[in-house]
Structure 1
Amino acid sequence: MCRRKCRKSDEFYIPDETDLRLFPAATQEKANDPRSPEQRVTALLRDGQNVSVDKKRPRDLPEWFDEKLFARGKEYFHSNFYAVFVANLIGLILVLTIPTILDVLILTNKSSEPYTAFRRYLDTIRHMLRWYKYDLKKVDSKCQKSVTIVHGLHCAASRISDKSGLGLRVTQKDMVLTQFGFMGLILLKKKELAIEGTDEDEMAIVHFWRTIGYFIGIQDKYNLCQGTLEEVRSTCDIILKDVYVPALMDPPAEFHRMVVTLIEGIKPISPMLDVDAFMTFTRRICGLPDTGTPLANTYSRWMYNIQAYTHDVLLTRRWLAFVFRPLLNYNMMFSVWLNVKFPFGAACKFGMKTFSRVPDHAPHPIRPDDG
């Protein structure tokens, strides 16, 4: 029985027991090809939901690791810092539409109100920036220490979910859908987000996230960032259209509350964020049709127009982008640095408790040794 009503064209439906999409008869031959993007998505959703995050943390670089390509991925990120930050924020919102992931976030109760959301998501940003900045090859580097902590947190969350009665959580499927949140839109919505780079840059960011995925517990056969650039892009496109877009149109009951908490928690870093405006922008980027209902208040309309104008004009027209891309990049980098080192804006919003630093070895209330 379908969880959602099947389309008249019988293009796909979603059985209750999995998030597997069944493709139309006309494409079955292609979908049955194990090398095809359709079959990869099928395997990720069907098989990956039954396999937990890999508990054995890799210590050595994989044999396929390319140092130059990895470094180029870092450069691509830094040259598009602002636009990629927006892409990642949209990706975080999309991840909240996945019930199995949302269950874990609600269970931990550490992002259910704006202050704890500020702590959690600032930690997420700090870890991500360490991956993009420091040397992965050195065992004692901040990058290696960071991936070790994040891997431990995933394992701890998986154990806690199982003990709480939620069942298997933080699966390979959950990990891959989260991996999409960090790189999928960079590939699929490069033009819409005004991300500047070549195919080689895109392949570099794919390699970067394949490597990070490997270190934080994604098995190679499930890793979203395998194959040629076009294969990865096609796989991401199917995930966006067949997983995230339907989920965004019909999200879980707690989705809106968690999005509001996320946006309010991120506001010290990006004060102009508005929930209604950014959700409208998110739907636009994901290709959802315009609802035809105008934003409720003048502030939301202004914030949406500014967001759209930034990506449609300031970062698109060459002579404007020459000035505004580095300016927006620097402004966002400075804001993140300020909130990590001297969170005065967060203190104004959340109080003096913001200045109590969380040790680097335990950046999250769930520690890797929790069991």
Structure 2
Amino acid sequence: MKAIVEKADETSQLHEQSSFISEDSHVHEPPAEKFISCPFKNVDYTTSSTLSFHGRVYSSPSSQDKAIKGTSYSDSSRNELKNHISMSTEANDQHQQNENKNTPSLSTSPTTSTATESHQNNDESPAGSSGTEHQYSDITNFLIGQDLLAVKTVLPEYLQLLETGESLGDSKVSMDSVPDWLDLEKYKRGQKFALDYFFGLVFAEMLSLMLLFLYPENLKPLIYTGKSDTPFKAFKRYLSTVIRVKSWYESDIWKENSEARRNLKIVRDIHETYRKRINSLDPQAFEKKCTLKPPVWSELSDQLREDFRALCPYQETGLCSNTSKDKFLYINQADMAVTQFGFVGLMVLYPSAFGAGGASEEDLEGFVHLWRCIGYMLGIEDRYNFCTGDLATVRQRSSDFLEYKMKPKLRDVDHNWEHMYRCVVEGISFYVPGVTFEVSLLYLCRLLNIQSPHVEASLTYFQGFMYRFTSLVMCYLLRFPPYRALSNWLLRSSIKRATAPSPMWIREHEERVYPYQAQGSGSLCAQL
């Protein structure tokens, strides 16, 4: 056990020492075709003369006007936006200071030409009143110096298309029809991949719920239904989801009377029922039912907003916001496509972080094709289907979706978001012991290179151990087929036991009172 903890500590240190700063003090993101395979390994960032901005490659700052033409901000607007942007990470700041320890400090005096030259070469911001020198990336300084409305023109085509699907419901395509793009060999290979890597896949899907809940369009219907706003309710609701999804991996969705087909029809019918019910309600009445009433299990959301506020400095320009909601429909084509991301996005971007480092590209492409088929059967039109296209296309789409849509929304996490996801994780812990909100959030933040000091500070000793152990299992132990087979078997056994609990077990968990509930109706803060 000591060896396991030491090994996990080493992996955590490797991650913490990783930096976005290259030798020339510029920030370089990975090119579009590269994706981080494990959150605890240094990334081989490009050192070319180009910059990658959300998967779109531009030339260096000296020739940015050739990439995107925009009107420069005035000095006052430039300074205002710079003041709005927080320092990216403490780790990067420390690394930058070490890299530039021999570089003259910035001076506020206009007569110090050396400092001015250093500022121009290293894209540093003016020194603050405290004397601390803020470091900004090339792309951040480029954004500060450009018309951000012009930058919006690079919004990926698929994300623009999704916004047109917000007023469309079910595709009305019959479940008996077979699309002409169906490749049965890919479909079966995708099923085999899902079953071989089932343990890591379920973990990836659990983390993805944290991202999906950032969308009010996804979270509000869940609050409205009232079927997952307590740990026990969430246990029942998401256990049924796991069982249905598992049947899609084990059974043939193209056979009329198969278990997979029956479960697909159940889910599609549920979507249609709630689509009609919610969209027929008075909007104000619906909104009232979409806010949780105290007590609410939320203790970190305020601090998390502080951690995440620097993720998207251009958010207020509208780059990351949705278009007009004049014809908005709940449970629409865009919502269902976003949900598809929750089942495939993190796995295809970071397979090594979920035990699938040994999977081939063909395996992952088959998995993507499987979910294209599932989306088709659930009533998603081909043009909105998140998994339309080859693996490279879906990977790029997933990366764009994270950068443009998901990460910016982390700035607005609230009590509803935290409460609902805490209930999910606590419900899952009924049959998968050890998972907690803090461990899950920290794993996701480190996977996405997001600084989260308040989360790290909130960890108990047990949670710290579980984070390291989870990292060790996902990034290393699941690489070995015997350990992976054992983990899959244990998870399936736990799911099977959870489907037939004893009356005493049900009563014990249903009547369990959590600290946030015991503190009374005004409580917003509690921790297990």
Q: TM-score, normalised by structure 2?
A: 0.58
User: How do 1:276-355 residues align onto structure 2 when only pairs under 5 Å count?
Assistant: 276-291=438-453, 293-316=456-479, 321-342=480-501, 347=506, 349-351=508-510
Q: 1:330 to 1:345 in 2, by over 3 A?
A: farther
- 2:272 aligned residue (155, 164, 167): 155
In 1: Cα distance, 2:396 partner to 2:503 partner: 43
Equivalent position to 1:125, from 242, 252, 261: 242
Instruction: Return the letter of the residue paired with 1:173.
Output: A
Partner of 1:364: none
The match for 1:182 is 343
Among 366, 376, 397, which residue is 1:214 paired with? 376
Take 2:342 and 2:504, find their aligned partners in 1: how far apart are those partners?
27
- In 1: Cα distance, 2:367 partner to 2:195 partner: 11
More off after superposition, 224-233 vs 54-63: 54-63
Contact 1:172–1:218 (CA under 8 A) maintained in structure 2: yes
Bigger Rg over Cα: 2
Looking at structure 1, the residues matched to 239 and 263 of structure 2 have their Cα atoms a distance apart, in angstroms, of 14
| Residue aligned with 1:47, SS | helix
Distance 2:489 2:447 in 1: 24
User: Residue 191 of structure 2 contacts residue 367 of structure 2 at CA under 8 Å; is this kept in 1?
Assistant: yes
Contact 1:96 1:102 in 2 (8 A): yes
Residue 84 (structure 1) aligned with residue 183 (structure 2): no
Q: Which runs of 5+ in 2 are unaligned?
A: 1-83, 86-139, 284-327, 512-528
Percent of counterpart pairs with the same letter? 26
C-alpha displacement at 1:287, in angstroms? 2.7
> Which amino acid letter does the alignment assign opposite residue 193 of structure 2?
Y
Q: 1:10: Cα distance to partner?
A: 3.9
Distance verdict in 2 for CA 1:253–1:8, change over 3 Å: farther
- SS of residue in 1 equivalent to 2:453: coil
Is contact 1:57–1:151 with CA below 8 Å preserved after alignment? no
**Superposed displacement of residue 340, structure 1:** 1.8
Is the helix fraction higher in 1 or 2?
1
SS of the equivalent of 1:315 reads helix
2:177 equivalent among 31, 36, 60: 60
Spell out, residue by residue over 1:149-174, the C-alpha distance to the aligned partner (whole angstroms, 9 max, x if none). 10011111111211223462001111
3-state DSSP of counterpart to 2:458: coil
1:350 to partner: Cα distance: 1.8
Deviations 1:20-45 (A, max 9, x none): x97727xx4xx48xxxxx1112211x
The residue correspondences of 1:13-32 to structure 2 (distance < 5 A) are: 24=151, 28=153, 31=154
CA spacing shift, 1:350–1:208, aligned 2, 3 Å = same
Q: What amino acid does structure 2 have at the position aligned with 1:134?
A: S
Q: Is the 8 A contact 1:339 1:345 kept in 2?
A: no
Residues 17-72 of structure 1 show CA distances to partners (whole Å, capped at 9, x for unaligned) of xxxx97727xx4xx48xxxxx1112211x212222233454322212112121111
* Structure 1 residues 310 and 63: alpha-carbon distance in aligned structure 2, compared to 1, 3 A threshold: same
| Cα distance change, pair 295–323 in 1 and its aligned pair in 2 (3 A) | farther
The match for 1:365 is none
Determine if the alignment matches structure 1 residue 97 to structure 2 residue 204: no
Give the superposition deviation at 1:331.
1.0
How many residues align structurally?
A: 326
Question: What is aligned with 1:225?
Answer: 387
Partner Cα separation in structure 2 for residue 261 and residue 222 of structure 1: 30
Instruction: Name the structure 1 match of 2:46.
Output: none
**Ranges in structure 1 where 5+ consecutive residues have no aligned partner:** 12-20, 33-37, 353-371
1:185-229, CA deviations, whole angstroms, 9 ceiling, x for partnerless residues? 110011222313111111100110000000111111100111121
- Alpha-carbon distance between aligned partners in 2 of 1:159 and 1:207, rounded to the nearest angstrom: 30
State yes or no: 1:202 paired with 2:364. yes
Deviation of the 1:351 alpha carbon: 4.7
Whole-Å separation in 2 of the counterparts to 1:48 and 1:221: 9
Cα distance in structure 2, aligned partners of 1:337 and 1:22: 53
What is the letter of the counterpart of residue 24 of structure 1? V
Residue 160 of structure 2: aligned partner: 42
For 1:57 and 1:281, the matched residues in 2 are separated by 40
- Which residue of the partner structure matches residue 428 of structure 2? 266
